[in-house]
Chains A and B, each alone.
Chain A
Amino acid sequence: MIGEPDVDAAALMARAADGDRGAWRELYLAYRDYVFRTALRFLGSEAQAADITQDVFVALFGRARQYKPQARFTTFLFRVVANRCLNERARAHTRLHDDDASKHDALARLSAGPSENPEAHLRRAESAAAVRRAILALTEWQRLAVILSRFEGLSYEEIALAMSTSVGTVESLLFRARRKLGELLR
């Protein structure tokens, strides 16, 4: 994972399993940005991403005993994130088309850089908006694979574990996603 926090997640999870709130807090602070950002990129809504972040950590602390230190913590974490995102998407399928503009604004705030000159900022914002629209146009599975691969730097194997699928499927998802992104960003 890109920029993985320097914490002993296995030890924290062991403490979290015993209900240690300090461990809960440490885990939350270390990983909340990854969870929120992935959910926001996937769902395109800040409010939904915040809900998913909460859901993920509640599930994480509830299942802390199931975590086996042999597996990488981020793989375990992203598996929970992927499940929640896909479930949320399926549940909210009927209300997906609401307020697309606000979703784009929320995502735009994520990528807003430090003070730039207005022209460069405009160019960058236009390009970023096109990319975001293209990402949201992918299927759920393709989008999740792209987010985990491109933005979080997970390997095929880690993505396959997170999405409960095979490495071959991940490769195929990324191939189709790239082909579609190429067409959309032409």
Chain B
Amino acid sequence: MRCRKAQMFISRQLDGRLDEETGVVLATHLCACADCARFAALVRESWRRLAADAPAVGTTPDVFAGIVERATRASPLAAWLGELWRLSPSRAATAGVLASVTAIGVTLGTLVGARLDAPPTAPVLLEAQALADSFADLPLGTPLADFAASFAGRRGSP
């Protein structure tokens, strides 16, 4: 048995938490190890001295009036938070999931709606320009050239 382990067992033994078998192993170690035997004597004596200091009676001042006064003027927010805290974990989890789903739905709806309502942007303008350019060589005045020119103009071609 290592000394560190033995010293931990000495502490455990003082609390009555060492099984009999380990107690025998510890006793054997203490017979062979002077350092651990000294440690055991020291901690047993200091632990015994702590008990000698234990007070027999309390000398508590009576602060009950102050307790009642403070307990009865607790803020409404604290009371509300206390009630919230009393929610069972499953109910609190369900409420959290519902709130999250609602928040995600509202956010997505807002984003998609904004995208649909947005005016055509650069890609559409580029397409119109490309269409106009492809008909640039057509003779002016032909219906197809007029259509291409009007299409490019309607889309805001420069």
| Chain A residues within 8 Å of B, Cβ to Cβ | 21, 24-25, 28, 32-37, 46, 50, 53-54, 57-58, 61-63, 65-66, 109-111, 113, 124, 127-128, 130-132, 134-135, 146, 149-151, 156, 171, 174-175, 178-179, 181-186
Q: State A58–B82 Cα separation when bound (angstroms).
A: 14
The contact sample of 26 A-B pairs, CB cut-off 8 A, is: A24-B71, A32-B60, A33-B58, A36-B61, A37-B58, A53-B60, A53-B63, A54-B70, A62-B78, A66-B86, A111-B54, A111-B55, A131-B49, A134-B46, A146-B50, A149-B15, A150-B47, A150-B54, A175-B7, A178-B11, A179-B7, A179-B39, A182-B46, A184-B46, A185-B45, A185-B46
Distance in angstroms between the alpha carbons of A85 and B82 in the assembled complex: 22
Query: Which B residues touch A151, using CB under 8 A?
Result: 50, 54
CA distance A151 to B47 in the complex (A): 11
Q: Which residues of A contact B85 (CB under 8 A)?
A: 66
Distance (Å) between the CB of B50 and the closest chain A CB? 5
* Residue on A nearest B72 in the bound complex, by CB: A19
Is A54 a contact partner of B86 (Cβ separation < 8 A)? no
Among B8, B39, B67, find the residue whose CB has the most chain A CB atoms closer than 10 A.
B67
Report yes or no: B55 in contact with A131, Cβ–Cβ below 8 A.
no
- Contact present for A65 and B53 (CB under 8 Å): no
Give the complex CA separation of A32 and B47 in angstroms.
26
In the complex, what residues of A have CB within 8 A of residue B50's CB? 131, 135, 146, 150-151, 181
Q: How far is the CB of B55 from chain A (nearest CB, A)?
A: 4
Q: How far is the CA of A102 from the CA of B68 in the complex (A)?
A: 29
CA distance in complex: A109, B61 (Å): 13
> How many positions in chain B have a CB within 8 Å of any CB in the partner chain?
38
Which residues from chain A contact B64 at a C-beta distance below 8 Å?
A: 24-25, 28, 57
Report the bound CA distance from A146 to B54 in whole Å.
12
B74 in contact (CB, < 8 A): yes
Complex Cα distance A183/B70, Å?
44
Bound Cα distance A87, B11 (Å) = 28
* Nearest opposing residue in chain A for B70, CB measure: A58
Residue contact A178 to B86, C-beta cutoff 8 Å: no
* Contact status B58-A182, CB under 8 Å: no
Contacts of A34 in B (CB 8 A): 58
